[in-house]
Amino acid sequence: MNTLLTSGIQISVKTSFRTDLSEIIESQFFFNYRIEIENTNSFDVQLLSRDWYIFDSLKSARYVNGPGVIGEQPILRPGEKYSYSSGCDLQSEIGMMKGFYTLRNLTDGELFEVFVPTFKLEYPPKLN
């Protein structure tokens, strides 16, 4: 699990390869990732948006951004955690993702960015 703490927000990521959704012969590789966000600050925050950079070793990089995550813009009080799962498809056996979330401090209204640790997307047999 990859973990990173930025501005009092801890982000942890765990990935898994999905054989049931992948078509290896057709170079379609699908990965799931589970992200846990923990607010270690003394104030409430709200996740407003996400920005992702997706690297696929055989394809051009993709940038994805938009409001919230999985259709939600959660509020986290001090000490609270929020988890969600999502997925990514690649056309190669090896890739990676990195990015950041934009959050709002609900005490003073200030916006700030929280970085997601870079995580690898690797087809397990490729590693042998």
Summarised one tens digit per residue, pLDDT across range 48-104 is 999 999 999 988 899 999 999 999 999 999 999 999 999 999 999 999 999 999 999
DSSP annotation of 42 reads S
SS3 98: strand
* Neighbouring residues of 20: CB distance < 8 A, sequence distance ≥ 6: none
Query: How far is residue 36's CA from residue 43's CA, in Å, rounded to a whole number?
Result: 18
Q: For position 5, what pLDDT does the model report?
A: 98
Asked whether the predicted pLDDT for residue 128 surpasses 70, the reply is no
Indicate the class that CATH gives domain 2-122: mainly beta
> Where exactly are the structural domains of the chain?
2-122
SS3 16: strand
Residues in the chain: 128
Question: How far is Cα of residue 104 from the mean position of the Cα atoms in its chain?
Answer: 18
